[in-house]
Structure 1
């Protein structure tokens, strides 16, 4: 699971404009905060999962908003075609509350409770400091560091070597490893930049893949994280 391609608008893939990148990616992450009608997204998830099954690809994941908005979306998108959900969390208690909602949705569609995995997105200083507890919460399969919001909160200005983020990145790797999780996901690099140097540094640090914004980023992630 090297490359996780964000799909902010399912109509882009449905119309063929992003199909090449989607086929090359190891996972698709539908952004429900931007994608619009959850019912339409659920239909797309089921169709996309069916198309990719023949290629041995995992099912699509959904990125949810936090809080009640995310809880409502869970009821609309959980289905046998959904592999898991990505959600920002600042505590294990938040994930426990979400897990109750997911369990109800699983039962409603005939899934075994616990089938839908969670990627916990750490998007704040509080979340990073709670990384060890969050990593041990039920359903959490891996962690993801959401660097954009964290950078804004900390008011840091990353240089070319991004050493200003080293401590937070290391904390996430350490917390995931201590909990026995798969290596964490790294944030996408800015669009239009050379992503290979940062991807290589992240792999050396212990990350197992990264989110991607386009086909070129998918190709870089697939190559760099091939043996992560």
Structure 2
């Protein structure tokens, strides 16, 4: 049985370049749980101001989006933060998050705004626990590509196991939603994407970044409770209503932790259904 989400938040987060306003509505209609309009990596330096203006002109109350702003040490940061005060912004993704001070400053300027710090450097990982406990932080996000570059790591599998597990642990200790895994750059390799998403879920992640709409269905399916999990959970919960203490079900022992796990599966499913 794969690991459960800490909370039934978005499974799939789809990036769309802030310099491509014609794609904003398409992204919102793509089936993504959350859309991230990217003002950082996807936008060339000369296009930053124009992209910000395009986002401001487009923002929709009926389909609120997350905005990935530019890093705090760039000349675009302050204007990006001002943009995020407009209606229609549902969250702010901070790249290269490396200190709680920046998150505290963001929270002061954008009260109640959910914050999603991107952990994509050795320094950021070293303070992941502090980032997770900062006010308004909804969940941590793993910027795995930049992280590999910063640490000189060649590989996305076992090479990053320690760091992925560290983000899951930091999130759990802070009592926030399970973290979001990084992108799979092989957009034409659905088998690779499925393997990456299912590995992330087994490790305790609650969602995954996507860079193409054709990745969404695979990611959503990988993180959602399967039909077999739902059947198992219903059987366990039903049996627990008539049994007392530990009992056997289908040849396996069921005790309180197993019952709690089954209840969590049903809650996650119910939260998604009602969302």
Normalising by structure 2, we get a TM-score of 0.69
Give the deviation of 1:39 after TM superposition.
2.4
Give the deviation of 1:21 after TM superposition.
7.2
Aligned partners of 2:143 and 2:78: how far apart in 1? 20
What root-mean-square deviation, in Å, do the aligned CA atoms of Structure 1 and Structure 2 show?
1.9
Q: What SS does structure 1 have at the residue aligned with 2:145?
A: helix
Aligned to 2:178: 183
Q: How many residues align?
A: 203
For the 8 Å contact 1:5–1:22, the answer to whether it is kept is no
For the 8 Å contact 1:21–1:214, the answer to whether it is kept is no
Aligned partners of 2:35 and 2:27: how far apart in 1? 12
**Aligned runs of 1:98-177 on 2, under 5 Å?**
98-102=106-110, 113-114=111-112, 116-158=113-155, 162-177=157-172
Moved over 4 A (4+): none
Deviations 1:73-107 (A, max 9, x none): 111232231111000210111211222332xxxxx
Unaligned segments of structure 2, at least 5 residues: 1-9, 226-267, 269-275
Aligned partners of 2:211 and 2:117: how far apart in 1? 19
Q: What SS does structure 2 have at the residue aligned with 1:142?
A: coil
Counterpart of 2:105 (choices 86, 97, 104) is: 97
Give the deviation of 1:40 after TM superposition.
1.8
For the 8 Å contact 1:10–1:30, the answer to whether it is kept is no
User: Are 2:71 and 1:66 aligned?
Assistant: yes
Unaligned segments of structure 1, at least 5 residues: 53-58, 103-112
Specify whether residues 43 and 101 from structure 1 end up closer, same or farther in structure 2 by C-alpha distance, changes over 3 A only: same
For the 8 Å contact 1:62–1:86, the answer to whether it is kept is yes
Aligned partners of 1:143 and 1:166: how far apart in 2? 16
Normalising by structure 1, we get a TM-score of 0.83
